[in-house]
Amino acid sequence: MNATEPSLLRRLVGFNLATGIVLAVVGYILGRWLGDQIHGASLDYMSESGEDDVSLALGYFVGLIGFLVGLGFANYPASRLIGRPPSLPRPDAQGIGRYFRLTPDHKVVGMQYFTGIGVFFFVAGLTAMLIRTELLQPGQNIWPPDKYLTLVGTHGTLMMGMMTSSVLGTFGNFIAPLMIGARRSAFPRLESLSFWLLMAAGVILLTNLAFGGFQTGWTGYAPLSEEGVSGIDGYLFFFATVGLSMTLLGFNLVVTIVTMRAPELRWGRLPIFVWGIFTTSATMVLAAPVLTVAMLLVLLDRTAQTTFFYPAAGGSAYLFQNLFWFFGHPEVYLLMLPGAGILLQLLPVFSRKPLWGYRLAVAGMLGISLVSFMVWQHHLFVSGLAADLRPFYILSTELISIPTGFIFICALATIWRGRLRLEVPMLFCLAWIFNFMVGGITGIYNSDAPSDTTAHGSFFVMAHFHYTIMGGLVFTFFAAIYYWLPKMTGLTLNKTLGKVHFWLMFIAFNSTFFPLLIVGFLGMPRRIVTYPERWEFLNAWSSVSSFVLGFSMLVFLANLVYSMFIARIPAPANPWHSTSAEWQTSSPPPLHNFDNDPTIGDPHDYGRAPEPHTPGLQTAAEGG
């Protein structure tokens, strides 16, 4: 052990995850006790649960504060309050310990996001397997209805809450500063705070199972959320915390991209992936606070007995739908836009052609970001929306297909007559084009009030949604993993296992969700534990396919473990022959990112000049 390194005991009792967990438990107990003291006078006319929502909410809140204090997030504010000067946080020593505490290194935060979100992604995937197991046959098979609904809600909520930050948290934090030639992010503590808030939120959500679960689905509509058992509190606290985390994540990335670009990197030369991160982050900073406040208003209804969503006392359940979807529809694009950024960044690399229509693609991203705030009421077409408002929201929703079309055009024109390299990341990108096309076309039926009236609340909507989000985001997320993990870790991913993963995932994904489009079209409602026997074949087919889909994730996990811990084949310096700046430094990059200032050129300039290595393009995944 290095003589200057603190002892094991000192490291364990310092500000780190272990201390955070201990203080979280202490805080939770303290909060519950406080809640028990002040709850006596409150009214329970809405919640018939017999649980003490005030106590539970305070338990979550004080527990969260304890967790953050234990991680060291109170140290800097406390030192500033007594007049110590502003400072950058001290960078951690190298070693595994830096992944378990507050860190100022954007690359470490990126890896933390990758691992943390990965864990919750697998948990949420497991709940999906359990849902499909129940639906293998008609009738109630494994889960009683309330448990089934809790599974559905936990799956949807975890996926939506966590995966929104997947690309931004992992690749936005790790790669975007490298791409713009920055040596750090603008607000490193906020960057780290956003991650730990998200992890705390995930654990809080899972505690709902100990308090009766929640039967509202991921949308948490009132009056179900008002009347539900205390498991709802975990859901509300989860989304409120996730909203805060998203706001901080987007805030840091926007400021970093605006202020910390290399001097010669003008807006017109910004890599398209960074544009994707920028537009997503800007949308996130504005949309996520609405989510946080909406959840706090429901919590106020359940604890302080306000009446926002309680019609008998002057409130309205529709108010929640408006607030939720004002966040919720931009949320869909928060999931889609980073995927589009990855797609358009990677297609030129593997087509060896410049990105076609750079400005059109940027306009598409900006257009989606802007219009996404104007469409939320299409979710209320069957909720008593005033008939006069319907045409506007039909029009605005269909209008958003125009900037989305820009991205499609740019993607297709970029690969047109390109010298395609069907590497693993490229395969995932090509899958995006097919999946998102199906998602987009089926979306038209939901944007139109007459057809939405029949499709609403059915498996058709659910399958459409999975085509856009899983087909659009998760596929490009995997493309980015295969593309950038060699940069992030310095190690090569196995190519054969990568291809097996892709083909299994692509086929099983379509085989899972296409039948659900059909059963939804036939009228099968979602969030129901059973269905008529005539839909058994399609459901059974979908369930078996979903198991294969789940298996494909295990193949990926096996590849990750094999490549990172067993084979450990060093990655080439620039395995894809990319022209963007992140490949001008070592893999993984040093603490200060670049030994020399990177050369900023056209980030999508491929195929114009002779490329010495093009015929036998060296790959980062050739271990197979």
Partner 1 sequence: MAARIPEPEAPELVARNLAVGARLAAGATTFAFLGPVFAYLYLRSLNTADLWHPAGVDPPLLLGTAIVLLTAASAVVLLLASRRAAASRNRLLFLASLSFLLGIAAVALQVVEYFVLGFGPTDGGYASVFVAWSGLTAVFALGTMLWLETLIAFMLRGGERDPSQAIGPRFAALAFYWAYLAGLGIVMWVCLYVTA
Q: How far is the CB of 411 from partner 1 (least distance, A)?
A: 30
Asked whether the CA dihedral 428, 430, 432, 438 is positive or negative, the reply is negative
By beta-carbon proximity to partner 1, the closer residue of 314 and 616 is 314
Nearest to 203 by CA among 240, 181, 234: 234
d(CA 16, CA 24): 12
Return the biggest CA–CA distance within the chain. 78
Which one, 285 or 571, has the nearer CB to partner 1?
Answer: 285
Task: Please report how close the Cβ of residue 247 comes to partner 1 at its closest, in angstroms.
Answer: 6
Which residue lies nearer to partner 1 by CB, 186 or 431?
186
DSSP-based three-state secondary structure for 208 = helix
- Measured CA to CA, the distance from residue 164 to residue 472 in angstroms comes to 12
Q: How far is CA 477 from CA 89, 120, 126, 429, 560, in A?
A: 30, 15, 19, 9, 15
Q: Assign 3-state DSSP to the chain and report helix, strand, coil percentages, each to 5.
A: 70, 0, 30
How many helices (H) and strands (E) the chain has is answered by 22, 0
d(CA 257, CA 274): 8
CB of 108 to partner 1, least distance (A): 12
Do 349 and 577 touch, CB atoms closer than 8 A?
Answer: yes
Q: How far is the CB of 375 from partner 1 (least distance, A)?
A: 16
**Which contacts qualify for 144-150: CB closer than 8 Å, 24 or more apart?**
144/529, 145/529, 146/212, 146/213, 146/215, 147/213, 148/529, 149/213, 149/214, 149/215, 149/216, 149/217, 149/527, 149/529, 150/208, 150/209, 150/213, 150/214, 150/215, 150/231
Nearer to partner 1, 247 or 512 (CB): 247
Report in angstroms how near the CB of residue 566 gets to partner 1 at its nearest.
27
Residue 325 or 465 having the CB closest to partner 1? 325
Strand-pair partners of 570:
491
Q: In this structure, what is the dihedral angle of CA atoms 57, 61, 62, 63, given to the nearest 10 degrees?
A: 100
Q: Are 424 and 482 in contact (CB under 8 A)?
A: yes
Contact 231, 206 (CB under 8 A): no
Residue 277 Cβ, how far from partner 1 at the closest point, in Å? Answer: 15
Considering the complex, what minimum distance in angstroms separates the CB of residue 384 from partner 1?
11
Choice between 84 and 534, CB closer to partner 1 = 84
Which residues are near partner 1 by CB under 8 A? 43, 77, 80-86, 88, 91, 94, 183-184, 186-187, 247, 251, 254-255, 258-260, 285-290, 292-294, 296-297, 300-301, 304-308, 311-316, 318-319, 322-323, 326, 590-592
Q: Which is nearer to partner 1, 324 or 477 (CB)?
A: 324
Between 3 and 609, CB nearer to partner 1 = 3
Instruction: Kindly provide the b/e burial profile for residues 472-489, where b requires at least 16 CB atoms within 10 angstroms of the residue's own CB.
Output: bbbbbbbbbbbbbbbbbb
Of the two residues 86 and 616, which places its CB atom closer to partner 1 in the complex?
86
- Dist CA 253 CA 176 (whole Å): 8
170 vs 279: CA distance, rounded Å: 16
Minimal distance, residue 371 CB to partner 1, in Å: 17
Please report how close the Cβ of residue 154 comes to partner 1 at its closest, in angstroms.
25
Q: How many CB atoms lie within 10 A of CB 44?
A: 14
For partner 1, the closer of residues 174 and 308 by Cβ is 308
CB of 82 to partner 1, least distance (A): 6
CB of 155 to partner 1, least distance (A): 26
**C-beta closer to partner 1: residue 186 or 199:** 186
